[in-house]
Amino acid sequence: MSKNKYSRPVCIRDSQNFLTSSAVIDRIINISGLSSRDHAIEIGAGKGHITKKLLGRCAEVTAYEIDRELYNTIETKFKDSAKLKLICGDFLQCELPGTPYKVFANIPFNRTTDIIKKLANAETALEEAWLVVEKGAAKRFAGLPRESTQSLMLKPFFDFEIKYYFRREDFHPAPSVDAVLLRMVKKRTPDIAAADRYLYNRFISACFSHPKGIYGLLTKRQIQVALKLDKLSCDISSKEMLYVQWLCLFRCWLKFK
């Protein structure tokens, strides 16, 4: 087992809700389909309950834990494991592997947005991520019940789906909010070119901030023609538009900007 120790003494246990049920952990790992071919990354290894299951399932596991005391516990618990690379440090400050990997983690709810942004924006070999997150955050990233700036900026490159709903008593301590298992999978062929990502994000931000919404960037006729050509509904509002409509209108905006 290799180690990469950081000197930053941080205790974040109060922000974590640990999954301790072996049956629940088995259930969600089975849902993920992780196999002996996979390199799994765990963010916030905690007390090692998920780590143990990942080691029994995957070819290699890289586990991050920022809390020194928890790190020491895991280090002792799995000292004989050649599969485990254990890192004591902040995942948000660490480099990601350059070879294919999948993420499976019960992450601190208060760091969900930062973690998903890091995974989404890094030029790495991420294949998919299975994240235990607060239900409200999962719905925002999945665009449920309607698209948000967060969901729209990620959907050209990733698909999101809620795959499992936890009971609060599945955790210790029990959280004050509902939690779900969110799947984030990279699209083999992105819906927009990587070179257009900055412009796409600018377009989405402008539409949500402009007093007239989408009509502040495109004329009514431009919108109607573009949607009709793609055989999409022309009955839209910025708050109710589907992702495919946003994508269509971004491509239209690129032609006229």
pLDDT digit string, tens, across residues 114-152: 999 999 987 779 999 999 999 999 999 999 999 999 999
The CATH number of residue 52's host domain is 3.40.50.150
Both structure tokens of 2: 């290799």
Write down the pLDDT at residue 5.
41
Which two structure tokens, joined as six digits, stand for 192? Answer: 């927009």
Q: Please give, one letter per residue, the 3-state secondary structure of 49-118.
A: HHHHHHHHHCCEEEEEECEHHHHHHHHHHCCCCCCEEEEECCHHHCCCCCCCEEEEEECCHHHHHHHHHH
> Looking at the structure, do residues 178 and 231 belong to the same domain, yes or no?
no
Is there a single domain that holds both residue 27 and residue 86? yes
Instruction: Give kind and range of the element (H or E) at residue 25.
Output: helix 22-32
Do 207 and 150 reside in the same domain of the chain?
Answer: no
What is the distance between the alpha carbons of residues 233 and 216, in angstroms, rounded to a whole number? 19
In 125-241, alpha helices (H): 135-142, 149-154, 197-209, 220-229
Range of the domain at 246: 194-256
The answer on 149 and 78 residing in a single domain is yes
pLDDT range class, residue 257, cuts 50, 70, 90 = confident
- Does residue 11 register a pLDDT over 70? no
Q: In this predicted model, what pLDDT tens digit does every residue of 77-92 receive, in sequence order?
A: 999 999 999 999 999 9
> What digits encode the pLDDT tens for the residues 33-89?
999 999 999 999 999 999 999 999 999 999 999 999 999 999 999 999 999 999 999
Statement to judge: residues 45 and 164 lie in one domain? yes
Q: Distance between CA atoms of 80 and 86, rounded to whole angstroms? A: 12
The answer to whether residues 46 and 75 belong to one domain is yes
Tally of domains in the chain: 2
Residues 10 and 113 in one domain: yes
- Do 43 and 142 have their domain in common? yes
CA distance 217 to 237: 13
